[in-house]
Amino acid sequence: MLAELRRRGFRLAVISNILSLGLVPRKLASYGIADFFYPVITSSGFGYRKPHPRIFLEAAERMGLPPAECAYVGDTISRDVAGAQAAGYGLAIQIRSCLTDKSDGEIEEPAPDVVIGDLREIIPVVTDPIARSGKWQGEVRES
């Protein structure tokens, strides 16, 4: 999925609320995917935490993109969806994880643009106008 997004010209970044300065870069390197991501912005290094729009705007700026051309994928409404939308990102995509209910409980607003259950769904969501329109049904489709 990461290689395909890169092949299609997408730029990828990481925004993480974490206390450690080095954990995220070390984990990305240990997974063999560090080269796919620039920038890697951590709240501990930048000084703002999600959902503050400043951390999202910083990622867009470092990628050389206007926020409206950015999509953000995260598992929480309260931090990820809210922050991406406050920063003016074009898409706020929620991927359900074990942390979703624990972090958000009953929070349902702001609503994500799209909800996915698998990272493989990102490619059609960011490349297919039907998927971006909110009519996405969540099945993995090859594009």
∠ CA 7-115-77, nearest 5°, is: 110
Domain annotation covers residue 64 = yes
Domain annotation covers residue 128 = yes
Which helix (DSSP H) or strand (DSSP E) does residue 93 occupy? strand 91-95
Residue 87 confidence (pLDDT): 98
Query: In this structure, what CATH number is given to the domain that contains residue 60?
Result: 3.40.50.1000
Token pair 């700026």: residue: 61
Q: How confident is the model at residue 104 (pLDDT cuts 50, 70, 90)?
A: confident
Residue 102 confidence (pLDDT): 76
Q: How confident is the model at residue 15 (pLDDT cuts 50, 70, 90)?
A: very high
The answer to whether 51 and 80 have CB atoms below 8 angstroms apart is yes
Q: How confident is the model at residue 32 (pLDDT cuts 50, 70, 90)?
A: very high
CA-to-CA dists, residue 6 to 3, 9, 73, 106, 129, angstroms: 5, 5, 16, 35, 19
Percent of the chain with pLDDT over 70: 90
Q: What is the pLDDT averaged over residues 4-16?
A: 95
**How many Å from the N-terminal Cα to the C-terminal Cα in the chain?**
12
- Greatest CA separation for the chain: 39
Whole-structure pTM value: 0.86
Q: How confident is the model at residue 139 (pLDDT cuts 50, 70, 90)?
A: very low
Host domain of residue 75: 2-134
Q: What is the pLDDT averaged over residues 111-135?
A: 80
Alpha-carbon distance of 109 to 86, in angstroms, equals 12
> 55-87 pLDDT, tens per residue?
999 999 999 999 999 999 999 999 999 999 999
Domain annotation covers residue 116 = yes
Domain annotation covers residue 79 = yes
Count of domains observed in the chain: 1
Average pLDDT, the chain: 88
* DSSP, res 50: T
Which helix (DSSP H) or strand (DSSP E) does residue 24 occupy? helix 23-30
Residue 136 confidence (pLDDT): 42
Q: What is the pLDDT averaged over residues 6-29?
A: 95
Domain annotation covers residue 27 = yes
Domain annotation covers residue 141 = no
Domain annotation covers residue 139 = no
Domain annotation covers residue 140 = no
